Amino acid sequence: MLNVEKLARRNVLRMKAYASARSEKELDDSIFLDANENPYSEFGRYPDPFQRKLKDKMAELKQLKTEQVFFGNGSDEIIDLLIRVFCEPDKDNVVTVEPGYGMYKVAADLNDVFVRSAVLNDKFQLSAQNVLDKVDTNTKLIFIGNPNNPTGNAFDRNEILKIVQQVNALVIIDEAYIDFCPEKSLVTELRNYNNMFVVQTLSKAYGLAALRLGIGMGNPKIVELLNKIKPPYNVNSLTQNIALEKLQDTSQVRSWVNEIRNERDALRTFLKDLSFVYKVYPSDANFLLVTVKNASRLVAFLKGENIVIRNRSTMPNCENAVRISIGTIEENERLKIALKIFDSQQVAKYESSMAKE
Ligand SMILES: *Cc1c(COP(=O)(O)O)cnc(C)c1O
């Protein structure tokens, strides 16, 4: 059993939270003269600091209690807040896997918290033992992307749970891409483990990256501490309203997910046939990790064609790897045409070099 109070920072436990202007009890038809707002403007009122309507809806969808749900200004804010709740600067550490999402280290570095990382094997699979080997008495958090970014694969559920079962730390499962493979979600395991916390986002499948809404789910004691230290109005009213609408009817999101998955699988097949492509990794997400003959040459060529992809070559086990997001059908067609041209140029170059010999 995780003792949240023991794991959290003393100053966070001791401090008093900012009391925002309005408490739960006030009715919507009250006259509000308490927050120095402009009564004339459409956007004159502060947003609900605890996003109650949205939280109730999310809890219903995820089959959780409202007290188990937290919202951040994107999941990036939740990652930062978790580090600030639990990690003592210049003393504690977080454990991550590499290659993995870059923001864990950025948030840790900003907060002067150490990062210890376990490298995935060449098939990018997770080994619980490799992660556990990095854990010491100052490890407070373990971040695992599932599906992982930039590799695209979801990990073996039992391997993740082995970590959760064996550590006296909080395991954060970052499910940013889970809507592309909902059957892999660990949200249903939250009832079995109070040292697991799941983070999701409306930025990917839900198509609301511009609005910034991240979701944290798990132990209500953790939610309570996140609420205590968050900026009071971290999720604005427009985001709360539009997100609520999107959650009330998920049919569009489901059809986007289907289309993107079909396009992803088609692009994977297409890429495998190109001569400069070495390996296309299996993906549970909306992007593909691809190793090629020369990643920087490919990235530069596509840039010339006004197509931007991500070079991931500097990450561990990612030599000459690029990450390609799945676009619209039209965008993917443009990409394929450009890749064909690049491919024939490579072949032509190769043939002319052979002719000279
Ligand atoms: C995109 C991404 C996020 C960021 O989500 P926001 O909610 O937009 O901040 C978090 N984690 C992973 C692994 C991502 O790829």
> What confidence tens digit (pLDDT) does each residue in 186-201 have?
999 999 999 999 999 9
| Closest CA relative to residue 188, chosen from 229, 157, 166 | 157
Helix (H) or strand (E) holding 310: strand 310-311
Residue 172, φ and ψ in degrees, nearest 5:
-100, 120
> What confidence tens digit (pLDDT) does each residue in 288-323 have?
999 999 999 999 999 999 999 999 999 999 999 999
Mean pLDDT on 319-329: 98
Q: What is the mean pLDDT of the chain?
A: 96
DSSP code, position 342: H
Instruction: Pull the structure tokens for residue 188.
Output: 């249903």
> What confidence tens digit (pLDDT) does each residue in 144-158 have?
999 999 999 999 999
Angle between helices 295-304 and 329-356 (to 10 degrees): 120
Q: Is 101 in the pocket of ligand 1 (CB under 6 A)?
A: yes
Spatial neighbors of 45 by CB under 8 A, at least 6 apart, are 32, 35, 37, 237
Residue closest by Cα to atom 1 of ligand 1: 176
Of 203, 287, 288, which is best to mutate to test ligand 1, by the most ligand atoms within 8 angstroms of its C-beta? 203
Q: Residue 315 and residue 98: Cα distance in Å, rounded?
A: 7
> What confidence tens digit (pLDDT) does each residue in 47-63 have?
999 999 999 999 999 99
Mean pLDDT on 27-31: 78
**Beta strand pairing status for 196-201 and 170-174?**
parallel
**In this model, does residue 21 exceed pLDDT 80?**
no
Q: How many CA atoms lie within 13 A of 34 on its CB side?
A: 10
**In this model, does residue 223 exceed pLDDT 90?**
yes
Q: Is 83 in the pocket of ligand 1 (CB under 6 A)?
A: no
Q: What pTM did the predictor assign?
A: 0.96
Residue 157, φ and ψ in degrees, nearest 5:
-55, -45
Cβ burial, residue 131 (10 Å; 0-12/13-18/19+): buried
Q: Residue 232 and residue 229: Cα distance in Å, rounded?
A: 8
Q: Is 151 in the pocket of ligand 1 (CB under 6 A)?
A: no
User: What's the confidence (pLDDT) of residue 347?
Assistant: 78
Tell the residue number behind the tokens 């080994």, with chain if given.
Answer: 127
Q: Is 149 in the pocket of ligand 1 (CB under 6 A)?
A: yes
**In this model, does residue 25 exceed pLDDT 60?**
no
Angle between helices 329-356 and 251-272 (to 10 degrees): 10
SS3 of 142, please? strand
